[in-house]
């Protein structure tokens, strides 16, 4: 029996196919051809793109110069696809391609109606079935794969639902169209209905930070834009440097909202990430940085019932009211806004401004220690206009408080700052907090003269006191978030 064995080598992606053909015999009748496909590469290309795995069980189409048209059911065994097709004995040339169809033309629409990357398209070069010596051909991938990873390095839009994502190439480049395979001539026809735009399929689970959207596209050196429409904002990421979408490979593109041009609607929402800067009332061991001095939990019987961070005022806000997450609580027991006490390692607010990560709401709760006579922190002036570097932020309370707010607004321009006046902030210090907050248009929750005696029996509130504080902060700032 005469047989021929040949290798199909992927030109760029280097897939191999081995085909053995049965004895030809007389010109009439048919014969079986065993087809085996193997992957010939295991490494990404020079750009680091991953190789698309064509070795998936399913149907592969074939055509011959004797007029055969059909498909082979391929199964996967030992990292190879195998199947058998029946061809006319008169056939001397074989052509294989993705999928299967009858007739003389097969058309693939790109992007494919198949989900994700399952619609990647390939065909082979014409394969000779004549002769006793091994013969070879090459499989050529016709499409490329793209995976968009939607994220936001600033965290502002993380978790937002995405309704549509569109990729638009610059002039002269095609991302979509109809690939026509002419089966009778065993060749790729002209691209029809070419388009420079594709749209990705979004579902209810498509959210910034977790979404990974994929599609089959035509190979090109992509420049252009990626447009995102989401809950509360639209964004456009412009790609100026070419991204080479190579046939047979899958390119991952990280779409970072922080690098895009964003147009946001004015939407009020409860905080997503709450940051706290305070003194002892805002501390809890194990939650604040390890280098900071905590007050809670404490052995003081009056407020020993604050034995869990969730019983603090900010713990209630996070878990019971706003249902948000903690960014960083940088509170320090005994600390001032303007100055610390180096002998006791108590760092002031002005020295720990770089500890927040990416909050969208910040609570400032300080001043109680500044107003104590033993601290000797002078009030200073309401200097709102001088450059930040000229403010006496270490020795003057008002200038330090102004410096803290201006610095936070510069670092986190879209974060909501809430100022708290504690019930033990005396004299003009509490009034100064209100004056400064009013100047910057910031809300103030003032606990001076709070008449609920169950709240404060000493300088530090007990569990009931913290619960009351959380309720007041929530109620008095509700208009910010509705």
What pLDDT is stored for residue 481 in this prediction? 82
Count of other CB atoms within 10 angstroms of residue 226 = 21
**410 with 353: CB under 8 angstroms?**
no
Please give the structure tokens belonging to residue 202. Answer: 């979004």
pLDDT in tens, 391-411: 888 889 999 999 999 999 999
What pLDDT is stored for residue 4 in this prediction? 38
Residue 290 has pLDDT above 70, yes or no: yes
Strands 416-421 and 58-64: unpaired
Specify the higher pLDDT residue, 39 or 316: 316
pLDDT in tens, 121-143: 988 888 887 765 444 566 789 99
Residue 25 has pLDDT above 60, yes or no: no
Residue 27 has pLDDT above 80, yes or no: no
Count of other CB atoms within 10 angstroms of residue 381 = 13
Strand order, beta sheet including 220-230: 197-200, 162-169, 220-230, 233-245, 261-264
What pLDDT is stored for residue 411 in this prediction? 94
**Residues in Cβ contact with 267 at an 8 Å cutoff, skipping those fewer than 6 apart:** 232
**374 with 319: CB under 8 angstroms?**
no
**363-373 mean pLDDT:** 90
Domain 144-177+188-264 classification at class level: mainly beta
* Burial environment of residue 178 by CB neighbours within 10 A (0 to 12, 13 to 18, 19 or more): middle
Residue 245 has pLDDT above 70, yes or no: yes
**74 with 57: CB under 8 angstroms?**
yes
Helix (H) or strand (E) holding 4: strand 4-7
Domain ranges in the chain are: 4-141, 144-177+188-264, 273-481
Residue 92 has pLDDT above 90, yes or no: no
pLDDT in tens, 333-357: 989 999 765 565 568 999 888 999 9
Helix, coil or strand: residue 276: strand
pLDDT in tens, 444-472: 999 988 877 456 666 899 999 999 999 99
Strands (E), 196-300: 197-200, 212-217, 220-230, 233-245, 249-256, 261-264, 273-278
Query: Over the chain, what is the mean pLDDT?
Result: 86
Specify the higher pLDDT residue, 9 or 427: 427
Beta bridge partners of 420: 365, 445
Query: Model pTM?
Result: 0.58
Task: Categorize the per-residue pLDDT at 319 as very low, low, confident or very high, splitting at 50, 70 and 90.
Answer: very high
In CATH, the number for domain 273-481 is: 3.40.50.1110
């Amino acid at each position: 029996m005469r047989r021929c064995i040949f290798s199909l080598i992927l030109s760029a992606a280097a897939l191999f196919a081995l085909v053995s053909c049965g004895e030809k015999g007389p010109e009439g009748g048919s014969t079986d051809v065993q087809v085996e496909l193997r992957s010939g590469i295991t490494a990404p290309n020079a750009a680091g793109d991953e190789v698309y795995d064509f070795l998936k069980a399913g149907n592969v189409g074939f055509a011959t110069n004797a007029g055969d048209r059909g498909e082979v059911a391929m199964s996967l065994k030992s990292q190879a696809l195998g199947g058998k097709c029946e061809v006319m004995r008169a056939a001397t040339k074989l052509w294989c391609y993705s999928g299967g169809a009858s007739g003389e033309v097969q058309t693939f629409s790109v992007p494919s109606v198949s989900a994700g990357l399952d619609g990647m398209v390939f065909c082979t070069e014409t394969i000779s079935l004549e002769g006793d010596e091994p013969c070879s051909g090459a499989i050529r991938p016709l499409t490329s794969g793209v995976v968009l990873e939607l994220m936001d390095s600033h965290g502002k839009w993380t978790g937002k639902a995405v309704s549509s994502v569109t990729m638009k190439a610059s002039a002269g480049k095609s991302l979509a169209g109809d690939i026509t395979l002419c089966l009778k001539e065993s060749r790729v026809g002209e691209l029809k209905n070419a388009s420079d735009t594709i749209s990705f399929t979004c579902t209810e689970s498509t959210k910034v930070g977790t979404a990974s959207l994929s599609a089959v596209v035509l190979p090109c050196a992509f420049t252009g834009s990626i447009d995102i429409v989401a809950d509360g904002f639209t964004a456009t990421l412009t790609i100026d440097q070419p991204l080479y979408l190579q046939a047979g490979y899958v390119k991952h593109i990280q779409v970072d909202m922080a690098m895009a041009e964003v147009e946001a609607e004015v939407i009020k929402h409860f905080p997503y990430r709450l940051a706290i800067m305070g003194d002892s009332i805002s501390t809890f061991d194990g939650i604040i940085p390890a280098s900071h001095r905590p007050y809670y939990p404490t052995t003081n019987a009056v407020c020993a019932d604050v034995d869990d961070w969730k019983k603090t005022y900010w713990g209630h806000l996070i878990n019971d009211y706003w249902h948000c997450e903690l960014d960083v609580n940088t509170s320090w027991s005994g600390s001032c806004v303007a100055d610390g006490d180096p002998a006791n390692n108590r760092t002031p607010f002005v020295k720990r401004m770089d500890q927040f990560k990416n909050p969208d709401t910040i609570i400032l709760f300080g001043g109680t220690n500044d107003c104590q006579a033993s601290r000797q922190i002078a009030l200073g002036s309401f200097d709102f206009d001088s450059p930040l570097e000229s403010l006496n932020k270490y020795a003057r309370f008002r200038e330090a408080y102004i410096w803290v707010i201006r610095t936070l607004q510069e670092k986190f321009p879209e974060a909501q700052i809430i100022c708290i006046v504690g019930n033990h902030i005396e004299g003009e210090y509490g009034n100064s907090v209100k004056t400064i907050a009013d100047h910057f248009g910031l809300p103030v929750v003032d606990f001076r003269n709070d008449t609920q005696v169950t709240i404060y029996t000493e300088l530090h509130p007990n569990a009931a006191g913290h619960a009351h504080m959380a309720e007041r902060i929530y109620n008095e700032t509700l208009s910010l978030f509705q």
